[in-house]
Chains A and B, each alone.
Chain A
Amino acid sequence: MKSILTDYLVALRAIVVFTVLTGLAYPLAMTGLAQALFPQAANGSLIGPAAQPAGSALIAQKFTAPKYFWPRPSASDFGAVPSGASNQGFTSAKLAAAVEERRAALGSNAPSDLLYASGSGLDPHISPEAAEYQVARVAEARQLPPELVRHLVAAATEGPQFGFLGQARVNVLLLNRSLDALK
């Protein structure tokens, strides 16, 4: 009985010590370190003026105007708190309907990533094919030569990281800001 009580007392003290060590000291030290080393990255990769940020380079924004490149569909409609996915399976009638609706809006040849919603609902990227697919529309809406738009797309395209990790992608928010910056 006494030894059981001892166990619980040790356990309590251990939880307190671990909380101080791993729950406070560790995350606070990491915060300090990250703020010192990578303030931009550690604070959400925000863009625009600090007082009035225009968003995060990592978080997708909703774009509906034809003059902008559109991001991938978001099940949470680009709400970031909380974010979410459709969670629809392969035999889901809702998914089939959503894809049909998007095909109707985008055209029957729209690339896969524009027809299917992202996992986070905040995917900041589209595939280069999806960007190319939208070049004509954006160029027309902005009355710009498609070549110029294509040029901006190319500039905003990232290849796989280090040449082999992940997929080629285009950051929609940065691309749209570079379009807006043309004026």
Chain B
Amino acid sequence: MFALDILQAALFAAALILLTPPLGLYMALVLEGRWRFLAPVETAIYRLCGIRELREMSWRQYTGALIAFNVIGLAVLLAILMGQGFLPLNPQNLPGMKFFLALNTAISFVTNTNWQAYSGEAALSYFSQMAGLTVQNFVSPAVGVAVMLGLIRGFVRRTGTTVGNLWADLVRSVLYILLPLAILFAIVLAGQGVVQNLSGYVTATTVEGAQQAIPMGPAASQIAIKQLGTNGGGFFGVNSAHPFENPTPLTNFLELLAIFLIPASLTYTFGIMVGDRRQGWALFGAMFILFLAGFTASWWAESQPNPITHVPINMEGKEQRFGVMNSVLWSTVTTDASNGSVNSMHDSLSPMAGMVAMLNIKLGEVIYGGVGAGMYGMLMYVLLTVFIAGLMVGRTPEYLGKKIEAREVRLAVIALFVPSGLILVAAAIASSIPAGLSSLANAGPHGLSEILYAFASALGNNGSAFAGLTVDTPFYNLMLGAGMLVGRFIVIIPALMIAGSMVRKTAAPPSPGTFPTNTPLFAVLLVSVILIVSALFFLPALTLGPISEHMVMLQGRTF
């Protein structure tokens, strides 16, 4: 049993490491327009949209276009969600979403968070799922890739002041990467039992004679991109725990892999773009260390029986076909990446495994992280690490030959620290007022964990939840909606500003006096900075949440 679990975890890691170079190379080729085998389609899209794909943009223009794209995307999605009652493909005749919930949902999908304050099968028409959510499932990771590309260009370009063309980056991300992978994946999922149809819900007469409504819908096509695009918003309420979303151990393995696949490969793409693959592997390595540490800790914690109920195996909130290992592997992976889909209920995780999930998010979604977002988030930590370490070797810190100065430090700390600060402020507000406390499903320290997790998830653009918390209330819809927006753009805008200032700097050639950022030492250092700067910051709150819960659990106390 244990041996099989180890084997599966090792297979997952091996598949990830093996797939990273080929996919990374492919992405480097297509994203920079060096391999355009779909040129006719690509060009047709440019002409239809009025895109002048060769026009280079400054960071301001790039950011402006990106904001325009998100504003329009948000407005269109909001309209679809609220107006689904009047739109086609609504066999269950579901009414339009209420404003607060629709707003929260629209923000959630546009920001690649995919926080769900609703249950898909009970609240959304097929049209909303397809033309609304699936579209954002494709374009929100594409936005992440575009921001990452802009930032990388800031580092690698030696002349000029521009960072690329946003529209071309978006179109290429969708057309060459997300869409082909999603098509392949959707077919495999449908073959394993994930529903893919436009029929109305089926009412079955059960063996014992009761009536049971069985939901239907175009799920496979959405789940494929939900995993690949680190979106995480389930077609059904219980997400990938649902047998129709994740019917077999094989789909579970592939869906897990799909979460990490693109973010991990982007480290390799990064290595190619900067002209030194070891730069990419160093980041991959740092991410892998954090992933492995989190997974090991979670698995260990989850393998300890609950001393209160004395049930030997912690199957509460988990599915029999997956078991404990596959559930904690998922809870680690989905919070490392800003995916947020779940195949077990995080609210029912042991206190320490729940804390690891929460901490993964609070580190800023950089352990592979969201598609594109993980890379640019990690690069913010890299700047910080290079700054501190660079001073220690006695030189003005530089990364990839470009100096890190006051402006970059300021922007990087804004991107890294503002979300962290806001998580605590928002959680402090919610834990002090009735509107926040009345939504709790669990009392005692676990209730505080639910609140902390919710705001971490929103500001980290993760989307998973300690789902017991009732979040479809005006207070939480608004607070979390605002959190998701801030969490997304407080990183994107500084990242692009850094791209803008970096691209203008002359690059210094490397010398033995520059400290290398492509070594295991750097990866370890990066991990240390992430843990010391971010994890320590949350320690007081975590002490009163999950750590207290763990301690009272050992005392046998319930709430």
Chain A interface residues toward B at CB < 8 A: 3-4, 6-15, 17-19, 21-24, 26-31, 33-35, 37-38, 41-46, 48, 52-56, 58-65, 68, 72, 78-93, 95-96, 99, 111-113, 115-127, 160-162, 164-167, 169, 173, 176-177, 180
**How far is B242's CA from A106's CA once the two chains are assembled, in angstroms?**
26
A63 to B210, CA, bound (A): 10
Distance (Å) between the CB of A22 and the closest chain B CB?
Answer: 4
Q: Is the CB of B316 within 8 A of A116?
A: yes
Tell whether, in the assembled complex, residue A169 and residue B198 are in contact, meaning their CB atoms are under 8 Å apart.
no
Q: Mark B180-197, 1 if CB is under 8 A from A, else 0.
A: 001100110011111111
The contact sample of 26 A-B pairs, CB cut-off 8 A, is A14-B171, A15-B69, A17-B48, A19-B131, A30-B190, A34-B196, A41-B191, A43-B199, A61-B208, A62-B208, A80-B212, A82-B237, A83-B119, A87-B441, A92-B443, A92-B559, A93-B559, A96-B308, A113-B313, A113-B315, A116-B318, A118-B315, A119-B317, A119-B319, A125-B319, A173-B207
Q: Are A82 and B121 in contact (CB under 8 A)?
A: yes
Contact between B121 and A80 (Cβ–Cβ < 8 Å)? Answer: yes
A46 touches B208 (CB 8 A): no
A34 x B187 contact (CB < 8 A): yes
Number of A-B contacts defined by CB within 8 Å: 379
Other-chain residue from A11, A48, A92 in contact with B69 (beta carbon distance below 8 A): A11
A93 vs B444: C-alpha distance in the bound complex, in angstroms? 10
Total chain B interface residues with beta-carbon distance under 8 A: 124
Distance in Å from the Cβ of B453 to the closest Cβ of chain A?
A: 11
Complex Cα gap A99–B311 (Å): 8
Chain A positions within 8 Å of B45 at CB level:
17, 21
Asked whether, in the complex, the Cβ of B344 is within 8 Å of the Cβ of A119, the reply is yes
Let me know if B213 and A80 touch, CB within 8 A.
Answer: yes
Q: From residue B216, how far is it (CB to closest CB) to chain A in Å?
A: 6
Residues of chain A lying within 8 A (CB to CB) of residue B139: 15, 18, 22
Comparing B96-104, B282-290, B320-328, B414-422, the segment that makes contact with chain A is B320-328
Cβ of A31 and Cβ of B250 under 8 Å apart?
A: no
Knowing A80-B121, A166-B249 are in contact, say whether A122-B207 is a contact too (CB < 8 A): no
Q: How far is the CA of A55 from the CA of B213 in the complex (A)?
A: 9
Q: Which 4 A-B pairs have the closest CB atoms?
A: A166-B249, A87-B468, A82-B119, A119-B241
Shortest CB distance A177–B (Å): 6
Q: Find A58's partner among B11, B193, B206, B342 (CB 8 Å cutoff).
A: B193
